Amino acid sequence: MSDLVVSLPAEGLREAIGEVPDVEFVEWDLAGDAPRSSIDIVVPPYWGGNRQLAALAAVNARLVQWQSIGYNGAEKYLPAGVPLANAATVHEASTAELALGLALAAQRGIPDFVRAGDAHRWELRSYPSIADRRVLLVGYGGVSKAIEARLAGFETHITRIARTAREEQNLAGETVAVRGFAELAEALAEAEVVMIAVPLTAETRGMFGAAELAALPDGALLVNVARGPVVDTDALVAELQAGRIRAALDVTDPEPLPADHPLWDCPNTLISPHVGGDSTAMLPRMAALIRRQIGRLQAGERPENLVIGDWA
């Protein structure tokens, strides 16, 4: 049996994966010539976007292992017939941590305290809690389930909404009710904190427009760890400039956010630069996923997380 050929970018993955029998690892960042004409698993660089996938036209690739959960736009550049697996299991914990961190910081006034501290000012103010708040999780995939698990000790009232209404198990093994997107306006009107963690699709692009944002109660907090285009930026800026709602955003549209964009100067707005999944947890979890994918191919099994293409 010949060795599997796995290409990795120069991001520390090779060392993190360790020794794997019957595997030849080659370095390739998709920017130069391919090191082999046939590669069993291609792992593109984490940063670089979808355009880099066009380089796969020069090789016979059995599987592309993407390093992000989101893969919107990948099909535009991925050669026809090449299967792609996303990085489910890698980023959920870190993204949920940041979502909760953004919500806590925004609720408890941390940005204001930091600014006051920089100016050596003691500013005693009261801010809203997370406890007792009505939290709406928009999307109920791995990230939202991880957010829910981390909210378990914060004494919140959680509502879940996703594309289809259903009952589903959460990470604690409890069966919970999930409402459908048809009820979004009603759910928003009841929410005090909204956490968005949906994939970017034709259905979710612009999902939070002027009407949806207007449905939120005064003072509501919108947390977006999904993708920027899920929210209509102009509509959000209008609501924020009016001081009616608040926002904590790890993603924006456009992205990166230009220095002169009005979103930077909106009141009650906290922005992080799309770092939800980019923590110390990523490298070992990504390495573990690649090891599992190698094991599945060696055993003649279907890879995990196939989101584009099929597996013969």
Question: Is 274 one of the catalytic residues?
Answer: yes
Q: Give the largest Cα separation in the chain, rounded.
A: 70
CB burial readout 4-21, b (16+ within 10 A) else e: bbbbbbebebbebbeebe
Report the phi/psi class of residue 109: left, alpha or beta, with left for phi > 0 and alpha for psi in -120 to 50. Answer: left
Amino acid identity, position 13: L
- Contact call for residues 199 and 70 (beta carbons, < 8 A): yes
Q: Which of 15, 27, 183, 255 is catalytic?
A: 255
Q: Which long-range contacts (CB under 8 A, 24 or more apart) does 198-204 make?
A: 198/138, 198/139, 198/141, 198/162, 198/226, 198/230, 199/69, 199/70, 199/72, 199/139, 199/141, 199/226, 199/227, 200/70, 200/72, 200/226, 200/227, 200/229, 200/230, 201/72, 203/163, 204/230
Cβ neighbours of residue 240 closer than 8 Å, sequence gap 6 or more: 246, 247, 263, 266, 267, 268, 269
Is 123 considered catalytic here?
Answer: no
Using DSSP, state whether 206 is helix, strand or coil: coil
Of 62, 133, 246, 274, the active-site residue reads 274
Count of beta carbons in the 10 Å neighbourhood of residue 26: 14
Annotated catalytic residue: which of 179, 227, 246, 285? 227
Question: How far is C-alpha 279 from the geometric centre of its chain's CA atoms?
Answer: 13
- Catalytic positions, written as ranges: 227, 255, 274
